[in-house]
Amino acid sequence: MLLHMARHDAPFTSEQLAQMLRTNPVVVRRTMAGLRDAGYVRSDKGHGGGWTLACDLGNVTLLDIHRAVGGPNIFAIGVQSDNPQCAVERAVNTALDGALREAEAILIARLGAVSLADLAQNFDTLCAQHEALSR
């Protein structure tokens, strides 16, 4: 959404963003609230209002966005502690714990190394290539 906003002169309404994402405007507003609270977007009410970009794309990383909208967990999977007395559960947790921590550290480093400006540059290149092929 932020890349589209960066390349669009007018504000986007929640309804427009929801249509692009094929989701409900309430989901968009909830997501955008996290981005607004982090200072990445702003919203203006009334006729002609909507969501606009409020940041320099070069100063925002994918990790920043994740933290603004996703929270602290990178993975939806993790070790389970439903039955800590179970030897099978403990064995599986021991095997997975280190691997998950290593994978999370790698992913966090990568997300922190990719700015939205990097993505915007790639986006522009892909659009130019597509336009050239369409001629």
Beta bridge partners of 12: 51
Token couple for 27: 């989901």
Q: Give the pLDDT band (50/70/90) at residue 78.
A: low
> Does the CA dihedral 50-54-58-59 come out positive or negative?
negative
Share of the chain above pLDDT 70, in %: 97
Tens digits of residue pLDDT in 4-43: 999 988 999 999 999 999 999 999 999 999 999 999 999 9
Q: Mean of the pLDDT values across residues 78-96?
A: 82
Asked if pLDDT for residue 92 goes beyond 80, the answer is: yes
DSSP 51: E
User: Is the pLDDT at 119 greater than 90, yes or no?
Assistant: yes
Q: Please, where in the chain does CATH 1.10.10.10 lie?
A: 1-58
Class of 1-58 per CATH?
A: mainly alpha
Which pLDDT band, with edges at 50, 70 and 90, does 62 fall under?
Answer: very high
Q: Which residues contact 108 (CB under 8 A, 6 or more apart)?
A: 63, 74
> Which range has the worst mean pLDDT, 7-21, 41-55, 84-98?
84-98
pLDDT of residue 133: 87
pLDDT interval class at 114 (50, 70, 90): very high
Q: What is the pLDDT of residue 19?
A: 96
